[in-house]
Structure 1
Amino acid sequence: MSTDATTTSATRAQRLDRLPFTRQHGRLVVGSGLGWALDAMDVGLISFVMAALAVQWALTPTELSWIGSIGFVGMALGATLGGLLADRVGRRQVFALTLLVFGAATGAAALAWSVASLLVFRFLIGLGLGAELPVASTLVSEYAPARVRGRVVVALEAFWAVGWLLAALIGYLVVPRSDDGWRWALALGALPALYAVVVRRGLPESVRFLELRGRTEEAEAAVRRFESAAGVAPVPSVTPPPSPAPRPRALWAAGSRRRTAALWGVWFGINFGYYGAFIWLPTLLYTAGFDLVRASGYTLLITLAQLPGYAAAAVLVERWGRRPTLVVFLLGSAAGAAAFALATGDTAVLVTGMVLSFFNLGAWGAVYAVTPEVYPTALRATGAGAAAGFGRIASIAAPLCVPPLLAAGGNGLVFATFAAAFVLAAGAALALPERRGETLEEEPAPVAAARG
């Protein structure tokens, strides 16, 4: 262990920011990321389940669109409530509870006996999932050193691609193999219920949250645990006074109003384009003439392009910054969706789908990197949860919009609409603050100054 001790005092947040990336950081990212991957697996599975049920239950496009959308109704409510709870009872507690809720509901969905029962279970799944995602990114961002915080949060978000890839594998290998294949696929999604126990014991609580609640001994122990892993000697700490969590209306106070509006605009646009496209993708390929196995196989290949998209975003959020990376990847998503709308032939469908997948998931990595940085600690999880909750309105609407768009103009109109949503999100992203390299305690500079 280093003996480079100093008597200079520092806040615990500053002590965390001075550390290198250690094994403890890695455990936090992997521990949170595995839950994130299991979440993505669940969301991805429903796209393959829809394609199977369209055949087995002879469902109408409207019924399919509700199966695709009802989970996002739960996610909208869950994201908002989860953020509020995380700012009051803690990030770790809410994270574990949400994994338990959606894991159990996913297992129950495997036993669904009708469209109505499946809709109920999908709502409960969304309730747990919606609360988990912003809470996990908030927790990781509050431990990551400032100089690599964006990259670490994008690495966390990359677990989403791993989970969606698992869903694509299950969709390809399990769902088409028998009439009960979709039930076995959903049963596999119940694994998060078991993982919740591991999460509750293994992840640390946010130091910043603990300090705001006056739990300084727990906060000090958590910081020393990370310092010990880095071989850094502790220094005397300056403890900020405890403060109550602000009310949600603080998101629209004079100092936060513009940031909130911009963030909500980004979340709405990226949700509309992403979930509209990827929830329906296997079904759209099937209706375009692909058999179920081939449609699942193409979706699997398109999903693989998510991984390099995340890798590129992880590098660029620290080199270019959060805002320019987000804008470029959103515009790339728009280009990919527009190209997919015009694609004819198997090769063109595959290539343009991979372009869309690459840029869109890179944009997701950037949006999760920037979101926790928009608000102060006491409002951080509430703000992230509210933005995610507002975005879920778009994820509810997008799958419901697909049937009428298909009827009006086919796949071309569908993906042109998604391209427009990505362009609007890119415009909103220009009004976000740039926080690359700053500590979370610093007040963001005005956007006009940040651009200079």
Structure 2
Amino acid sequence: MAAATKTVEEVLREGGFTAFHRRIVAITGFAWTFVAFEIIIISLVLPVIGAEFGIFDLLTFTATDPVQYGAIAAATLVGSFIGSLVLGRVADARGRRTVFLLSILWYSVFTAATALSWNIASVIGFRLLAGLGLGGMLVVDPAILSEFLPPQSRGRFMVLLDFFWPLGFLLAIGFWWLFIVSGVTVAGIDPWRVLFVAAAFPALIAAIARLAIPESPFYYARHGRLAESASVLTRITGKPVDPASLTKEQTVPMAPMRALFRGGLRRRSGVTISTWIALNFSYYGLFLWLPTILPGFGVAELAQTSYVGLFLVASALAQFPGYLASMVLVERWGRKRTLALFLILGGVSGLVFATASTFAVVLVGLAFVSFFNLGAWGAVYPYTSELFPTQYRATGF
């Protein structure tokens, strides 16, 4: 009988990057694309939804009921906050796979249900419910991906997951232009309703594809289920792994969430929360309102829909090199230093953008905000995934 000398991490390191990893990156990335699609679509169709229900004036491009108008934009984020807290805990206690499967299914159902909205309250309700599933995806997807990847590849492929985000951004702009700006209709259905169905369908396909993904080998090993952990590791590496050769992962009883703010985890949690608040505030605060605020810069070109579309495309395209730079730097320079650099330069770019008064400066400022903000997102996932022990990882996210 083989001696129990290897940890899951060591087996993953020795196995290297395999075809299994390509599949799981593709499956999680596909879902990431349409999460971005749906989030950006909200910002693009919000004026149209508001106009249909009498809370937005398209002629003056202002909200006649700012509270309800803002509630529609915020509902998904509120739901996501709740979902991340609850489902992150469930994933740590009961395993990643269940939440990995159910969160995207829940999300796709209520995203599609948004198309059936009959008043403002129903729009807000469906967006809140969809956000619950979104919150589960945002914490569990990176957690489970990080636990399948070999440590020497983890940083760059965690960044690669975020590389799928601007693809969804560009798709959202394309669909917005086709259905909202150009006025293409399907069976006489309101274009904004078609867009929510379009966002839900690929998410449902992604939910089906996720059935092929097993439970995390770390989760099995932590619970002493070494035969199952070895079976998953065999699938991942393509090489037989003897259960008797595995050591059980250190088991720490599931503690209340306040344990994240005790001892050695207190500082980590504080830094992580501050960083994620800054990133979420800057990203969603900008891009959820970008189509609405651009005309307010007082630049003549930004009053034209074609130029707004150009700005959106430019901001999406700038995200790709941001991710690429982050992907290289997190491996060569380190997660923390890369994240700090991108956060600082993102803040400087935001100041330039916010104070711009000419077309060129607004465009360049927005491009640099996108570059550094999304590069920071690429660095924060591998950084966060390695800050917390396995039993707290999804909750930490």
The answer, yes or no, to whether TM exceeds 0.5 is yes
Task: Work out the number of aligned pairs and report it.
Answer: 376
CA deviations 1:41-94 (Å, max 9, x no partner) are 111110101133355544223332221111111011001111101112211210
Q: How does 1:23-422 map to 2 (within 5 A)?
A: 23-56=19-52, 57-59=54-56, 60=63, 61-178=66-183, 180-191=190-201, 192-199=203-210, 201-228=211-238, 236-240=245-249, 244-288=253-297, 289-384=302-397
CA deviations 1:239-284 (Å, max 9, x no partner) are 3465543332221121211111111111111111111111100111
CA deviations 1:218-259 (Å, max 9, x no partner) are 11111112221xx68769222346554333222112121111
8 Å Cα contact 1:175-1:185 kept in structure 2: no
Q: For the residues of structure 2 that align with 1:290 and 1:212, how far apart are their CA atoms? A: 57
Q: For the residues of structure 2 that align with 1:118 and 1:236, how far apart are their CA atoms? A: 54
CA RMSD across the alignment: 2.1
Give 2:60's aligned residue.
none
Shift of 1:173: 2.2
8 Å Cα contact 2:55-2:68 kept in structure 1: no
- SS, match of residue 205 in structure 1: coil
Change (3 A) 1:321 1:120: same
Q: For the residues of structure 2 that align with 1:232 and 1:306, how far apart are their CA atoms? A: 40
Q: For the residues of structure 2 that align with 1:171 and 1:284, how far apart are their CA atoms? A: 17
Q: For the residues of structure 2 that align with 1:242 and 1:134, how far apart are their CA atoms? A: 21
Change (3 A) 1:349 1:172: farther
CA deviations 1:336-371 (Å, max 9, x no partner) are 111111222322222211111011000011111111
- SS, match of residue 238 in structure 1: coil
Q: Structure 2, unaligned stretches of length 5 or more?
A: 57-62
Change (3 A) 1:336 1:52: farther
Amino acid of the residue matched to residue 141 of structure 2?
Answer: A
Q: For the residues of structure 1 that align with 2:322 and 2:175, how far apart are their CA atoms? A: 22
Q: For the residues of structure 1 that align with 2:279 and 2:155, how far apart are their CA atoms? A: 19
Q: For the residues of structure 1 that align with 2:191 and 2:366, how far apart are their CA atoms? A: 26
8 Å Cα contact 1:50-1:283 kept in structure 2: no
Q: Structure 1, unaligned stretches of length 5 or more?
A: 1-5, 385-452
- SS, match of residue 123 in structure 1: helix
Matched, 1:11 2:7: yes
Q: For the residues of structure 1 that align with 2:41 and 2:253, how far apart are their CA atoms? A: 40
8 Å Cα contact 2:16-2:237 kept in structure 1: no
Change (3 A) 1:238 1:214: closer
- TM-score scaled by structure 1? 0.79
Shift of 1:286: 4.2
8 Å Cα contact 1:48-1:296 kept in structure 2: no
- SS, match of residue 97 in structure 1: helix
8 Å Cα contact 1:172-1:297 kept in structure 2: no
Q: For the residues of structure 1 that align with 2:13 and 2:117, how far apart are their CA atoms? A: 48
Q: For the residues of structure 1 that align with 2:295 and 2:96, how far apart are their CA atoms? A: 41
Q: For the residues of structure 2 that align with 1:100 and 1:181, how far apart are their CA atoms? A: 23
CA deviations 1:143-198 (Å, max 9, x no partner) are 21212211111111222222222212222222223382211111111121232122
Shift of 1:10: 1.3
Change (3 A) 1:297 1:112: farther
CA deviations 1:3-27 (Å, max 9, x no partner) are xxx9893122211122321111111
Shift of 1:40: 1.3
Amino acid of the residue matched to residue 5 of structure 2?
Answer: S
Shift of 1:287: 4.8
8 Å Cα contact 2:283-2:373 kept in structure 1: yes
